[in-house]
A and B are shown apart, each in its own frame.
Chain A
Amino acid sequence: MGIDRKGMALALTGWLLVAAPALAGVKIHTWQSRGAQVYFVRAPQLPMVDVRVVFAAGSARDGKLPGLASLTSHLLRFGADGLNADRIAEITDDHGIQLSIGSDRDRAWVGFRSLSEPRRLNPALRLLGRLMARPDFNDADLARERRRFLLALRQQQQSPAAIARRRFYRAVYGNHPYAHDPSGNLKSIAAIRRADLQAFHRRYYVARNAIVVIVGKLNRRQARLLARRLLSRLPLGQAAPPLPAVQPLKQAKVIRVPFPSSQTHVLIGQPGTWRGDPDYYALYTGNHALGGSGLVSRISEEVREKRGMAYSAYSYFFPLQRPGPFVMGLQTRNDQADKAIAVLRKTLADFVERGITAAELEASKKNITGAYPLRIDSNGKITGYLAMIGFYRLPLDYLDRFNDHIRAITVDQVRSVFKRRIHPRRMVTVIVGGGMAHGQKKHAAKP
């Protein structure tokens, strides 16, 4: 029932993942426990606790079975240590525990939000330990959840946005493990066996491959105890090896996928930046002006505000362990798709060629630095940032120093970094749509 004004769903995702910082005064305590680094922030105002254990166990570790990391993570809540799915569900619901279990390209995480009173927190802690360390992967659960995954893949096939995303990553990343969608494909999901899940879990869900995040109404002693109890469940194991390097694109690629939608979905991009990249702040600030700041960015101005061609037009960097993508995107009525693509390309080319203006840089800095306190105004957000800092081994003062880094960026720096890193003539362009509604003879937009 609510619809918002800005087409920022996608852009926002990128934004949140790109953005950083903490309150001056958010004090991060950190220590080692059984080979894992633990990060703790005390937040006594609300009677609750957030806990998250993060493993290097994302889809980049899928190997020959795309979707393996995702299915492994998904099945954790359906049976562990003799508890079946119904029993696990009763424990969480009886105590008002919210489990959060998931994975992306780099990471898999298991965690919970619980009330801090011991009669709620202790069951939550015990349950989490069992789920992450002793999953059952029962055949019946695997069979049922496999069917669910297969149907989800079929649902992606009816979504031009999902089709475009899959094609985009595949074209940008080629043979790199970032190329395939974390949800896998019909063939691989059908092929995954219980032994595959067990082997994946045994290899990656181990203490030396984990970090632990705790935020909430606990003191340091309680947090230490909590972390130790949790980690004592896990074997020590080994950290996951580094991921392979991402190869730059050698030439432009245009991929057209006919689809019977009224809009054409467009994604244009290339490998972008990674967590810890020394150019990150310049890229982030530059992109804020280019297409990262909603309606006041250049892309939105050219595509939406001046021409009314799209609801959502944006660009973002999605930093990962290795260079995640730089993406520009829009969706527009089929008959004006080629025109919109030309506008998008020209906007980028101008930005790379001429760079950011002093006024744009100033406005971007004001917004980014001024929004600093918003980024860490809840326990949920602080938990997310700790997970990022811990997993990507960012400096502990990352949040405190973020604004200093942004303020130091110059016009020349943005221009030279974009020239060096962004290559408008060697980008992947994915175009999904063109109409071709059932029974029509109309062809997709011409190449």
Chain B
Amino acid sequence: MKTHYPLGARTLWALILALMALSAAAGTGQVHEFRLANGLKLIVKEDHRAPVMVSQIWYKVGSSYEHGGITGISHVLEHMMFKGTKTLKPGEFSRIISANGGRENAFTGRDYTAYFQRMEKSRLEVSFRLEADRMRGLTLPPKEFAREVRVVQEERRLRTEDKPTALTYEHFNAVAWLSSPYHNPVIGWMDDLRALTVDDLWRWYRRWYAPNNATVVVVGDVHPKEVLALAKKYFGPLKPSRLVPPRPQREVTQRGRRDIVVKAPARVPYIVMGFKVPSLKTARDDWEPYALEVLAGILDGGSSSRVSRRLLRGSAVATSASVGYDLYARLQTLFLFAGVPAQGKSVRDLEQAWLGLVAELRDKPVTAAELERVKAQVVANAVYERDSMFYQAMILGRLETVGLGWQRADEYVRRVKAVTAEQVRAVARKYLIEDRLTVAVLDPQPVTPGKQQRRPMGGMRHGH
């Protein structure tokens, strides 16, 4: 289905943030929590609307746990988790899930690595049996690794190298974060992917894949006691590890605005900028992240928001523009603005328009009507989210994995509703200031060699 504005210079984060923004409540169904003797945490939420379930397993490891030289290793390991165990041949995991009518996949982020299966409810046992098997019994065959790491390199080319906006965003992060591991892309730098070895993966697997570093989340037409019994049966016998937590790797204090230019073959410019702000995990005053969440809603929540009303319509300085804030990041994060200037406008025009909105938020409290509108959307979204079991499980798993605890999901609506106009102004004044700002712009280079001046579309004329 089409989104409001047809083009989005949509990068990965924009999509994910859109998913997260103003929608972090996992609804009001009852959640059951258990912990096995080996440290594995189990979270179960009943949803009896359809005879299905989603089972997810979350590990506390992701790109923000990595260091220079082995970037991307969490994600490569995620790929290798499908490549054989002591009891299963490479690819067999997926064939078994498929034969059970399942849909499965896995995803790696900065703060987590997660695996999931969606199946008819009676197949939960299949999911637990296979996940328990690969938590401790991976074989990492060298030949499989050699091929799979090339698949990941192709993935990097597809997602980043050949996408000018994604490339710009990657460089932007590398400049915005000096000492924080958010400096590195989740997929890793190409050189690190080329140098990675099976031994590196062994060390990473043994360090992080253990029951006391995992959270299992099940949402669906299930009964908590039965789920617990199955979890005990399959995960219970696994031995815990002695976990060494990641180093703090806190970001150094930023000392002044940072700017970069990224040149890449492209037809349309792009700008992304971000202010360093706390997440719920890092905030000293825990109302501040909720105030930032509301601030994001004032700017970009719905088509009556300030960005939509003024920048996309109104002055029409932007052809697309979005604002994002990740409340649930494990480390200090960025309050982001990304967009494409309208034809005849420059990236600097768009930047000025954004900075104008920011200045206004520092100077004047937001109106009561705007505040109400943001809150009305939050209340409605909390209902709409319950239409997706997968999404409900995502929120619970993520909150648990970054160390906030799933209970925060239930607080979300109440905390957002409690935010005042004065608090919104306070966080704008404290955090949305130039010394915390990083700006990256994409400077489009010709997409065809040689003749680009005379024939800007030479060799690739299409659509006429």
Binding site for B on A (CB under 8 A): 1-8, 23, 43, 45-48, 66, 70, 73-74, 77-78, 85-86, 88-90, 92-98, 100-103, 109, 113-115, 120, 144, 147-160, 163, 166-167, 170, 180-181, 183-187, 257-263, 293-296, 301, 304-312, 331-333, 363, 366-374, 376-380, 432, 436-440
**Interface assignment of B60: CB less than 8 Å from any CB of chain A:** no
Q: Which residue of A lies closest to B149 (CB)?
A: A308
Complex Cα spacing A95 to B51, Å: 32
Q: Which residues of A contact B12 (CB under 8 A)?
A: 1-3
Complex Cα spacing A333 to B49, Å: 45
Complex Cα spacing A167 to B444, Å: 23
Stretch from B154-162, B207-215, B249-257, B355-363 at the A interface: B154-162
Contact A93 B94 (CB under 8 A): no
Tell me the B8-42 residues at the A interface (CB within 8 Å). 9, 12-13, 16
What are some 24 contacts across the A-B interface (CB < 8 A)?
A: A2-B12, A2-B186, A3-B108, A23-B50, A86-B313, A88-B303, A92-B302, A92-B304, A95-B380, A103-B2, A147-B316, A151-B268, A151-B319, A157-B447, A157-B457, A159-B163, A180-B463, A181-B463, A186-B464, A295-B82, A310-B151, A366-B101, A367-B102, A371-B119
Q: Which residues of B contact A154 (CB under 8 A)?
A: 267-268
**Interface assignment of B426: CB less than 8 Å from any CB of chain A:** no
Contact A305 B91 (CB under 8 A): yes
Given A86-B304, A331-B154, A378:B388 Cβ within 8 A: yes
Contact B304 A90 (CB under 8 A): yes
Q: Which residues of B contact A101 (CB under 8 A)?
A: 2
Contact B316 A144 (CB under 8 A): yes
Complex Cα spacing A70 to B267, Å: 22
Tell me the B309-336 residues at the A interface (CB within 8 Å). 309, 313, 316, 319-320, 326
**Interface assignment of B202: CB less than 8 Å from any CB of chain A:** no
A143 shortest CB reach to chain B, Å: 9
B22 shortest CB reach to chain A, Å: 10
Q: Mark B195-232, 1 if CB is under 8 A from A, else 0.
A: 00000000000000000000000000000000000000
Q: Which residues of B contact A181 (CB under 8 A)?
A: 463
Given A144-B316, A158-B265, A373-B52, A93:B302 Cβ within 8 A: yes
Select which of A3, A74, A293, A331 is within 8 A of B187 by beta carbon.
Answer: A3
B230 shortest CB reach to chain A, Å: 19
Contact A93 B459 (CB under 8 A): no
A-B contact count (CB 8 A): 293
**Among all A-B residue pairs, the 9 with the closest Cβ atoms:** A370-B101, A96-B380, A102-B2, A308-B147, A152-B7, A89-B304, A89-B303, A377-B50, A93-B302
Q: Mark B453-464, 1 if CB is under 8 A from A, else 0.
A: 000010110111
Complex Cα spacing A343 to B459, Å: 27
Complex Cα spacing A251 to B205, Å: 52
Given A86-B304, A371-B102, A96:B376 Cβ within 8 A: yes
Contact B303 A77 (CB under 8 A): yes
Select which of A2, A46, A159, A333 is within 8 A of B16 by beta carbon.
Answer: A2
Select which of A86, A157, A370 is within 8 A of B267 by beta carbon.
Answer: A157
**Interface assignment of B440: CB less than 8 Å from any CB of chain A:** no
**Interface assignment of B404: CB less than 8 Å from any CB of chain A:** no
Contacts A89-B308, A155-B7, A180-B463 supplied; 16 other A-B pairs, CB < 8 Å:
A1-B12, A1-B186, A3-B12, A3-B107, A4-B107, A5-B107, A7-B155, A48-B387, A95-B380, A144-B313, A158-B265, A263-B158, A373-B50, A373-B51, A438-B445, A439-B449
B191 shortest CB reach to chain A, Å: 14
Given A94-B373, A183-B6, A305-B91, A369:B101 Cβ within 8 A: yes
Q: Which residues of A contact B78 (CB under 8 A)?
A: 5
Tell me the B377-407 residues at the A interface (CB within 8 Å). 377, 379-381, 383-384, 386-389
B175 shortest CB reach to chain A, Å: 18
Contact A296 B82 (CB under 8 A): no
| Chain B residues within 8 Å of chain A by Cβ, number | 101
Contact B158 A7 (CB under 8 A): yes
Contact A438 B2 (CB under 8 A): no
Contact A48 B383 (CB under 8 A): yes
Contact B52 A3 (CB under 8 A): no
Contact B319 A45 (CB under 8 A): no
Contact B120 A149 (CB under 8 A): no
Contact B162 A261 (CB under 8 A): yes
Contact A155 B102 (CB under 8 A): no
**Interface assignment of B109: CB less than 8 Å from any CB of chain A:** yes
Given A96-B376, A377-B49, A115:B383 Cβ within 8 A: yes
Majority secondary structure, B binding face: mixed
**Interface assignment of B284: CB less than 8 Å from any CB of chain A:** no
Binding site for A on B (CB under 8 A): 1-2, 4-7, 9, 12-13, 16, 49-52, 75, 78-79, 82, 90-91, 94-95, 98-103, 105-110, 118-120, 123, 146-155, 157-159, 161-164, 186-187, 265-268, 301-305, 308-309, 313, 316, 319-320, 326, 340, 342-343, 372-373, 376-377, 379-381, 383-384, 386-389, 444-449, 457, 459-460, 462-464
Contact B50 A74 (CB under 8 A): no
B60 shortest CB reach to chain A, Å: 15
Q: Which residue of A lies closest to B48 (CB)?
A: A45
A363 shortest CB reach to chain B, Å: 6
Q: Which residues of B contact A333 (CB under 8 A)?
A: 153-154, 157
A306 shortest CB reach to chain B, Å: 8
- Which of A167, A170, A436 neighbours the largest number of chain B CB atoms within 10 Å of its CB? A436
Given A113-B384, A311-B154, A295:B91 Cβ within 8 A: yes
Contact A257 B304 (CB under 8 A): no
Select which of A48, A113, A185, A380 is within 8 A of B464 by beta carbon.
Answer: A185
Contact B343 A185 (CB under 8 A): no
Complex Cα spacing A306 to B102, Å: 23
Q: Which residues of A contact B50 (CB under 8 A)?
A: 23, 373, 376-378
Contact B449 A262 (CB under 8 A): no
Q: Which residues of A contact B6 (CB under 8 A)?
A: 70, 74, 148-149, 152, 183
Complex Cα spacing A296 to B158, Å: 21
- Which of A4, A376, A436 neighbours the largest number of chain B CB atoms within 10 Å of its CB? A4
Q: Which residues of B contact A115 (CB under 8 A)?
A: 380, 383
Contact A89 B101 (CB under 8 A): no
Contact A1 B377 (CB under 8 A): no
Contact A367 B99 (CB under 8 A): yes
Complex Cα spacing A305 to B151, Å: 9
Select which of B4, B52, B445 is within 8 A of A77 by beta carbon.
Answer: B4
